[in-house]
Chains A and B, each alone.
Chain A
Amino acid sequence: AQKITQTQPGMFVQEKEAVTLDCTYDTSDPSYGLFWYKQPSSGEMIFLIYQGSYDQQNATEGRYSLNFQKARKSANLVISASQLGDSAMYFCAMREAGNTPLVFGKGTRLSVIA
């Protein structure tokens, strides 16, 4: 079974609008971390935001916020005020306890339209 599911292969958003990228995860471990990465066409992976399973508040980093709904096992990324430079692949990932490697979803390709 997939541990990370990203159901949106592609998304379009108008410049300056907000967009939500979906991510659901599957784990029985009470301690885990959730990550979002951005991959521009150049191929590099850029870390965006992190949410720990015990964190009480949703993580925020500038225009990025993570809508963490623990009971639903979802960790959606919200990008506010989209910019043309936000066009990229976005990957959700999870690390379970014990310093295990990150497991990635298949990604969502976001296209920002002027």
Chain B
Amino acid sequence: DGGITQSPKYLFRKEGQNVTLSCEQNLNHDAMYWYRQDPGQGLRLIYYSQIVNDFQKGDIAEGYSVSREKKESFPLTVTSAQKNPTAFYLCASSIGQGLGNTGELFFGEGSRLTVL
């Protein structure tokens, strides 16, 4: 079945450690996104990539890094520089706007990161 797979679903990290969240899609979508969700804050954009080997910072990129070496994969690294990393992280992809396409996002099931 086509879709987006995020792993791990739950992750615990000690302060000062880097951690990488995996996001894989088999929808053949060009664009991929990482959002962070905190209670009462909605979804905030961390990074996005519209094509392989290219990505752009979103609104809250500080303390995060990404790579896009393959179309299917867009991993997010939460570095020790991120001051408050405990959150729910959502990965998404889209085919992009075009004839007949709304450009809607397809989401993974999310990864919940807790810093101890």
Interface residues of A (CB under 8 A from B): 4, 6, 9, 33, 35, 42-45, 47, 50, 52, 91, 93, 95, 99, 101-107
- Complex: how many Å from CA A43 to CA B33? 17
User: With A33-B102, A33-B103, A91-B43 as given contacts, are A44 and B109 in contact (CB-CB < 8 Å)?
Assistant: yes
**B30: min CB distance to chain A, Å:** 9
Q: Does residue B74 face the partner (Cβ distance < 8 Å to A)?
A: no
Chain A residues with CB under 8 A of B75? none
- Complex: how many Å from CA A52 to CA B102? 8
* Cβ–Cβ contact A44 & B31, under 8 A: no
* Cβ–Cβ contact A44 & B107, under 8 A: yes
Most chain-A CB neighbours within 10 Å: which of B35, B42, B45, B110?
Answer: B42
Interface residues of B (CB under 8 A from A): 31, 33, 35, 40-45, 48, 50, 58, 88, 90, 92, 96-97, 102-107, 109-110, 112
User: With A43-B110, A99-B96, A101-B33 as given contacts, are A106 and B88 in contact (CB-CB < 8 Å)?
Assistant: no
User: With A44-B110, A45-B107 as given contacts, are A91 and B42 in contact (CB-CB < 8 Å)?
Assistant: yes
* Cβ–Cβ contact B96 & A101, under 8 A: no
Chain A residues with CB under 8 A of B92? 45
**A22: min CB distance to chain B, Å:** 14
Option from A50, A95, A99, A104 in Cβ contact (under 8 Å) with B43 = A104
